[in-house]
Amino acid sequence: MKDKIHPKYYTDAKVTCSCGNTFTTGSIRKELKVELCSKCHPFFTGEQRIVDTAGRVERFKRRYKLTD
């Protein structure tokens, strides 16, 4: 392997989720910010939830005139 071409690897990188959960992992970045983690992701929690990105669900409902 060539020397000095690989980024520094942090074994104690801090991950912060938008739900407030924090944990450590290994990464080439010291801090990571994520939107979903295993504490709030619908697949792991078992709840049915729509994760809306930039109003796409509302735009879809308006386009096809769907109501709740």
pLDDT tens-place string over residues 18-58: 888 999 999 999 999 988 888 887 666 667 666 666 677 77
Decide if 25 is inside a domain.
yes
Domain holding 29: CATH number? 4.10.80.400
Of 39 and 8, the one with more pLDDT: 8
- The residue segments making up the domain with residue 17 are 10-64
Q: Is residue 4 part of a domain?
A: no
Q: In degrees rounded to 5, what are phi and psi of residue 49?
A: -145, 140
Q: Any long-range contacts for 16-19 (C-beta under 8 Å, 24+ apart)?
A: none
Instruction: Report the number of distinct structural domains present in the chain.
Output: 1
**Predicted local distance difference test score (pLDDT) of residue 32:** 94
Q: What is the DSSP letter of 35?
A: S
Please check whether residue 2 lies inside any domain of the structure.
no
* pLDDT above 70 for 4: yes
Q: Are 48 and 26 in contact (CB under 8 A)?
A: no
59 is a domain residue: yes
